[in-house]
Amino acid sequence: MMDYAGRVAQADTYPKMLRLNATEHGNEIALREKDFGLWRVFTWNDYQNRVRDFTLGMVELGIKRGDVIGIIGDNRPDWVAAEIAAHAVGGMSLGMYRESLPEEVLYLLTYGETKI
């Protein structure tokens, strides 16, 4: 059986790395987020499930390899989950800040040829 370093070396994408960590460290803490002054904990299993949900939603919306997915939001776990989900379907992510002006968002969505 291959050691952990060898398995990591074979996990050549973020979705594969997430799956490996969820398999090997499922109930361990992957992320923390401060929400109204309290820390919320996300295990590797939680994280993988959230990415799976985003991925299935993108597939349901018709996202496929090569599509660009626009992500608007703050630096939070859902942003990371959406980005990894985009990679899981073979897409690319285009991040925008929530504070961006409407004209900036329109420009980026148009220039990036985003699907969603």
Please tell me the distance from the alpha carbon of residue 29 to that of residue 43, in angstroms, as a whole number.
Answer: 4
Q: What is the pLDDT along the chain (116 residues), one digit of tens a residue?
A: 778 778 777 888 999 999 999 999 999 999 999 999 999 999 999 999 999 999 999 999 999 999 999 999 988 999 999 999 999 999 999 999 999 999 999 999 999 999 98
| Bridge partners, 81 (sequence order) | none
Which amino acid is present at 2? Answer: M
Q: What is the CA radius of gyration of the chain?
A: 16
CATH code 3.40.50.980 for 4-111? yes
Specify the pTM: 0.87
Q: Are 27 and 20 in contact (CB under 8 A)?
A: no
Identify the pLDDT of residue 5.
78
Identify the pLDDT of residue 8.
75
